[in-house]
Amino acid sequence: MAAGNPYLLLTPGPLTTSPTVKQAMLKDWCTWDKDYNGLVQAIRQKLVALATKDADAYTAVLMQGSGSFSVESVIGSVIPKDGKLAVITNGAYGNRIVQMANVYGIPTAVIDCGEVGSVDPRQLDDLLARDAAITHVMAVHCETTTGMLNPIADLGRVAKAHGKVFIVDAMSSFGGIPFDMADWQIDFLISSANKCIQGVPGFGFIIARRDELQACKGQARSLSLDLYDQWETMERDNGKWRFTSPTHVVRAFYQALLELEAEGGIAARHERYAANQRTLVAGMKRIGFKPLLEEAHQSPIITSFVYPESSAFTFAEFYKRLKESGFVIYPGKITAADTFRIGNIGDVEPADMERLVTAITQHQFWR
């Protein structure tokens, strides 16, 4: 277990970080000093290298705030005044995209697949054929609401066949699932510090096609969340943020990137997460729990389980007892079924999942 923590976070972020990531925060940094700005530049380069082989065509921007701030900075900066956004949603994070567009008064066309429905790219094809006003398409890669993985490569193919800009919320998947954003034809990809890179919360990042980002100058509907301005400052001033940045968090993130490399990169991390997920599901099935999703749509990031039949089961009591045993899990987030969620990401391994299942077995208070 991570030093200094009374419990493991089996949550999709903030998540369990390594002791060395936590230790990396024990120094104060000056935001405009070259030591710190050099760190920022190294992070930006490493992020692009993780995202694609075609590094010259892409660039990275870091943005203060939680992941949603970065999503909002893209929506508010990338879609022009006369633009229209198509959103494919099957959960809370997809719905949040629509909400953000509504706040900015950006017209949307929404394909709502339902909370547990899978995405059919043909629906996007039909929509784009019907509605010529749409300029941008946006989808969530791993919908953390349920743990469902969406067919981003197929959606990218459809979006590009119609000549649209393609934006992906890869918040909970980037760094934990291998893909090349150039192959998937993603123009803007959004993720954050406290998910699969295994840093601590405090900023998000956007990896963008350089030419598409350059086209966004002067378009932002928010000053603080102006993606283009943030990028331009980082480019021009070699890693300077416009406003105060979360320096300790940034230093910890750099350490987390080194640890991702040491683990063997995204492919190796993906294998560990997938092993966590398999171990968890096998153990939970053994003691009578059913996963919510079919295996074909299940991500290695987070797993939803349906409540046991017994009316004696309450999430509050379940949560409390597991916390006492050293595990913090997540409540469900859908209305279609009573579920709870267990994160498979962070500085955790299959042995931790085994220990969790043992703890759950010991706490079958509802039987």
Ligand X SMILES: *Cc1c(COP(=O)(O)O)cnc(C)c1O
Residues of this chain that bind ligand X (CB under 6 A) = 12-13, 66-68, 71, 93, 140, 144, 169, 171-172, 192
Structure tokens at 153: 């490569």
Structure tokens at 319: 């949560």
The residue type of 282 is A
Task: Give 17 or 144: the residue with its C-beta nearer to ligand X.
Answer: 144
The CB-nearest residue to ligand X is 67
- Closest contact distance (angstroms) between CB of 98 and ligand X is 13
Structure tokens at 305: 């389980």
CA dist., res. 166 & res. 366, Å (int)? 47
Classify burial at 218, counting beta carbons within 10 Å of its beta carbon; exposed 0-12, middle 13-18, buried 19 or more: exposed
Question: Where would I find the H helices in the chain?
Answer: 19-23, 34-51, 67-78, 92-103, 121-130, 152-161, 210-214, 227-236, 247-263, 265-286, 315-324, 350-362
CA dist., res. 266 & res. 319, Å (int)? 31
- Closest contact distance (angstroms) between CB of 69 and ligand X is 7
- Closest contact distance (angstroms) between CB of 93 and ligand X is 4
Task: Give 189 or 357: the residue with its C-beta nearer to ligand X.
Answer: 189
Q: Which of 97, 102, 64 is nearest to 188 (CA)?
A: 97
Structure tokens at 191: 């993720």
- Closest contact distance (angstroms) between CB of 166 and ligand X is 16
| 12 in Cβ contact with 345 (< 8 Å) | yes
- Closest contact distance (angstroms) between CB of 116 and ligand X is 16
Q: Which of 63, 72, 67 is nearest to 241 (CA)?
A: 63
Task: Give 178 or 201: the residue with its C-beta nearer to ligand X.
Answer: 201
CB atoms within 10 A of CB 286: 10
Task: Give 343 or 350: the residue with its C-beta nearer to ligand X.
Answer: 343
Tokens 């954003």 correspond to 181
Task: Give 52 or 194: the residue with its C-beta nearer to ligand X.
Answer: 194
- Closest contact distance (angstroms) between CB of 152 and ligand X is 12
Instruction: Supply angle C-alpha 217, 222, 224, rounded to 5.
Output: 95
Task: Give 143 or 347: the residue with its C-beta nearer to ligand X.
Answer: 143
Task: Give 37 or 146: the residue with its C-beta nearer to ligand X.
Answer: 146
Instruction: State the virtual CA torsion across 41, 47, 48, 52 in degrees, nearest 10.
Output: 160
At residue 259, what are phi and psi to the nearest 5 degrees? Answer: -70, -30
- Closest contact distance (angstroms) between CB of 144 and ligand X is 3
Task: Give 17 or 68: the residue with its C-beta nearer to ligand X.
Answer: 68
Instruction: Supply angle C-alpha 347, 18, 362, rounded to 5.
Output: 50
Helix axes 67-78, 92-103, angle to 10 degrees: 50
Task: Give 199 or 283: the residue with its C-beta nearer to ligand X.
Answer: 199
- Closest contact distance (angstroms) between CB of 67 and ligand X is 3
- Closest contact distance (angstroms) between CB of 38 and ligand X is 27
